[in-house]
Chain A
Amino acid sequence: KAGVTQTPRYLIKTRGQQVTLSCSPISGHRSVSWYQQTPGQGLQFLFEYFSETQRNKGNFPGRFSGRQFSNSRSEMNVSTLELGDSALYLCASSSTLAGGQETQYFGPGTRLLVL
C-alpha cells in the first residue's frame, strides 16, 4: 500500500496570507489527524477527522481549520498567517478498526515558512 502523502512538501508565504495543505491517507484509512511540529512547542495535535466529521480538536486558534472529503483525503487551512505559524505540518492516518485503537501512520510533512 502507498503511504500517507502530503502536498506540497514546501511552502513559503507572507504574513496575512492564507494557505491550504493537503493530505491523502493510506488506502482504507478513514481517520486523518493533523499535527504541528515546531522546535519550541514540539509536536502538537491540531485536529482529527473521521468520515468527513471533525471528532477532536486541539488548542489552536480558529485560524486553523480543516475538512475531510468523502474519499478520506483531508485539507487543513490556515488563514491570516503569522510568523509563528512557520512549522512542519504532519498528517497521520489510521484505520480505526473495531475498538479504534489502530496505529497512526505519518506522512512526510509540509514545511511552511511564513515571512
Chain B
Amino acid sequence: AQTVTQSQPEMSVQEAETVTLSCTYDTSESDYYLFWYKQPPSRQMILVIRQEAYKQQNATENRFSVNFQKAAKSFSLKISDSQLGDAAMYFCAYRSPNFGNEKLTFGTGTRLTIIP
C-alpha cells in the first residue's frame, strides 16, 4: 500500500517570501500521480498543482512549483511571493495510475501561516 508523509505539521512565512513544504511517499509502482491540495479555513479543498511521475519536468502553476525527485520519492511544493490568501492546510496526495482506481492517499497536512 502507498503511504504519504508530510513531516512539517506547521510552517510560517513572511508575506512576499518563499516557503517550501515537504512531502515524501512510498510506492512500488513506477508510474503514478502526485497532487498538492489546499484547504483554506472555509474547508473547500482546492487543487494547487499536479505532477505525472513519468514527466521529468517539474510542474508549475503561477507562484506554485514542485520539486519532484522520483528516485528519492520526494515531492515538495514551493510557494513564491507568499500572499495572505495562501494561508491554509496543504495536503500532498498520491494516486495510482490504474484506470478505475480513483483513490487518493493523503498525507497528514501542513498548516501554513502567512505573517503580514
Interface residue ranges, A against B (CB under 8 Å):
31, 33, 35, 42-43, 45, 48, 50, 55-56, 58, 88, 90, 92, 94, 96, 99-101, 103-109, 111
Give the dominant DSSP class at A's interface: strand
**Contact indicator B43/A96 (Cβ below 8 Å):** no
CA distance A55 to B109 in the complex (A): 27
B102 touches A96 (CB 8 A): yes
Instruction: Show 13 residue pairs from A and B whose CB-CB distance is below 8 angstroms, ordered by the A residue.
Output: A35-B104, A43-B104, A56-B100, A92-B45, A92-B104, A100-B100, A101-B52, A101-B95, A106-B37, A108-B42, A108-B44, A109-B44, A111-B43
When C-beta atoms are compared, the residue in chain B nearest to A105 turns out to be B47
B residues near A, CB below 8 A? 33, 35, 37, 42-47, 50, 52, 91, 95, 97-109
Alpha-carbon distance A48/B45, docked complex (angstroms): 18
From A42, A45, A58, A100, give the contact of B108 (CB < 8 A): A42
Contact between A101 and B104, CB atoms less than 8 A apart: no
Please name 17 further chain A to chain B contacts, defined as beta carbons within 8 Å, in addition to the given A33-B103, A94-B102, sorted by A numbering: A31-B102, A42-B106, A45-B105, A55-B100, A56-B102, A92-B45, A96-B99, A96-B102, A100-B101, A100-B102, A101-B52, A101-B95, A104-B102, A106-B37, A108-B43, A109-B43, A109-B45
B46 contacts which chain A residues (CB < 8 A)?
A: 106
Say yes or no: B103 contacts A45, CB within 8 Å. Answer: yes
Q: Which residues of chain A have C-beta atoms less than 8 A from B107's C-beta?
A: 42
